[in-house]
Amino acid sequence: MEWGGEVIEFHLDARSGVAPYMQLIRQVRHALRLGVLNEGDKLPTVKEVVARVAINPNTVSKAYRELEYEGLVTARPGLGTFVTRTLGGDSLSKHEPLRQGLARWLTEAREAGLDDESIEALFLSSFRAFSEARG
């Protein structure tokens, strides 16, 4: 089965522990960041998504509402949901200096005697605490 037209395809990772609606949001954001989706592109309709992914319609609506709230898409009644803004662009140019900063930090962590697993655990727990503190 093919998706109609040039739309993105959603999928679901059941073991991730991430709420399904959040997985959809991340996939749209990811597609925007990578330039797979551009301004004016249409998202698949709720019915198309549920018939394909076997997922609750309210989950799709909730994800689309959230994306609309973030100003990334807009719903046009009877027509569908359209991308209004792209992501990335300017932030992409900031990747390289950040990558270098991270590499420096990794070197420091290794020199302090941490192995790969400890580094990963430290990064994940700090990242989680940071995101949760910011809501």
**Which residues are at the interface with other proteins (CB under 8 A)?**
12, 14-22, 46-47, 50-59, 62, 125, 128-129, 132-133
Cβ of residue 1: shortest distance to other proteins, in angstroms?
10
If the CB atoms of residues 100 and 118 are measured against other proteins, the closer one turns out to be 118
If the CB atoms of residues 49 and 87 are measured against other proteins, the closer one turns out to be 49
Rounded Cα gap, residues 72 and 39, in angstroms: 9
DSSP characters for the chain? Answer: ---SSS-------TTS-S-HHHHHHHHHHHHHHTTSS-TTPEEPPHHHHHHHH---HHHHHHHHHHHHHTTSEEEETTTEEEE-----GGGGGGHHHHHHHHHHHHHHHHHTT--HHHHHHHHHHHHHHHHHHH-
Cβ of residue 132: shortest distance to other proteins, in angstroms?
4
Cβ of residue 59: shortest distance to other proteins, in angstroms?
6
If the CB atoms of residues 23 and 73 are measured against other proteins, the closer one turns out to be 23
Cβ of residue 15: shortest distance to other proteins, in angstroms?
6
If the CB atoms of residues 13 and 111 are measured against other proteins, the closer one turns out to be 13
